[in-house]
Amino acid sequence: MEELIGHLLDVVLPVLLCVLVGFALARLDQPFDHKMVSRLVANVGYPTLIMAHLSAQHVALGAFFEMLLAAVAWVACAGGLALGFLAIAGLEVRAFLSPLMLNNVGNIGLPIAALAFGAPGLAYAVAFLVVTLAGIFTIGIWVPRGRVSFGELARSPVIYAVAVALVLMATDTHLPRPIDHAFTILGGLAIPLMLLTLGHTLATLSTGALWRGAYLALFHLAMMAAVAFALVRLFGLEGTARGVFILQCMMPVSVATYLYVEMYQSEHAQEVAGLILISTLLAVVVLPLVLTFWI
């Protein structure tokens, strides 16, 4: 248990430190082009990150697609509950729906699953990552922007990156080493730039935005716990599959969703930044408790 807590802190604290650097840049009045950074992450960072990350994971397709289906159900249930909550609360759906639906199953979920459950756990967690990435680059863009564009989706580098990575996984094929190394370097742009952008926005965060972020983070936590409890029973998940499913459901809000809220719903970016910040801080307490008492 101490090792898991230590690893959780090793993962979460660097995230918070990167956000702090972005915060400091804003306070020091350093130039920071949000639009340029957002486009760079969406068109270069994410596609290469996906290729480098997913193509390295070779799993049994049967188990992979079983968890993939459960993860799709997770996103659908979370989306329905979040939509109802936002309607009742009178909050802007276009700003808050995708953050409440999609969790940080990448840079936090994968390493925690690997440490808790080993290689089989990592294989199941990758299925969650694929569904979450698909959600980020469809729902995560379409909802904040307010329109669906399949033509634009067809031109998105991310879609082709996911498709190629899945073929590589299915055929147990590795990328050529120079390409793999290049994609690893370029993919390394995505998360740091995204966290710097979040931190830069937090520098202008108002107290009201922080309070709204706090109660939305608590709702997100309660909603995800309910969804996890219901779906593990519905799908009859047991053992490692059950543990990984619950763990990924309880991850904090995805930082990636902020990118598109900032681009298309900038007037609500502070509140979403507060939601992500509080949700990530809660993970330091919640995830060890989940690992101890629920899994």
Q: For residue 176, which of 201, 255, 184 has the smallest C-alpha distance?
A: 184
CB 113 within 8 Å of CB 290: no
Is residue 295 in some structural domain? no
pLDDT for res 216: 96
Instruction: Give the CATH number for residue 155.
Output: 1.20.1530.20
**Region 262-279: what's the mean pLDDT?**
90
DSSP string of 13-30, one letter each residue: HHHHHHHHHHHHHHHTT-
**3-state secondary structure (DSSP) of residue 253:** strand
pLDDT for res 204: 72
pLDDT for res 248: 95
Query: pLDDT of 232-266, one tens digit each?
Result: 999 999 889 999 999 999 999 988 898 889 889 98
pLDDT for res 58: 52
Query: pLDDT of 20-61, one tens digit each?
Result: 899 899 999 999 888 888 788 878 988 888 788 777 765 566
pLDDT for res 226: 96
pLDDT for res 11: 64
Is residue 197 in some structural domain? yes
pLDDT for res 281: 84
pLDDT for res 192: 86
What total of structural domains would you count in the chain? 1
pLDDT for res 290: 87
| Count of beta carbons in the 10 Å neighbourhood of residue 147 | 9
Query: pLDDT of 142-164, one tens digit each?
Result: 999 998 877 777 888 888 888 88
**Region 128-140: what's the mean pLDDT?**
86
pLDDT for res 97: 97
pLDDT for res 258: 87
Global confidence as pTM: 0.81
Q: For residue 126, which of 220, 77, 63, 176 has the smallest C-alpha distance?
A: 63
pLDDT for res 85: 97
Burial grade of 159 (CB within 10 A; 0-12, 13-18, 19 or more): middle
Confidence of residue 7 (pLDDT cuts 50, 70, 90): low
Confidence of residue 3 (pLDDT cuts 50, 70, 90): low
284: domain range?
Answer: 2-290
CB 113 within 8 Å of CB 142: no
% of the chain at pLDDT higher than 70: 93
Query: pLDDT of 166-223, one tens digit each?
Result: 788 778 788 888 998 999 899 888 878 888 887 887 787 677 778 888 999 999 999 9
Is residue 194 in some structural domain? yes
Is residue 53 in some structural domain? yes
Query: pLDDT of 71-129, one tens digit each?
Result: 999 999 999 999 999 999 999 999 999 999 999 887 678 778 877 888 788 778 878 88
Is residue 124 in some structural domain? yes
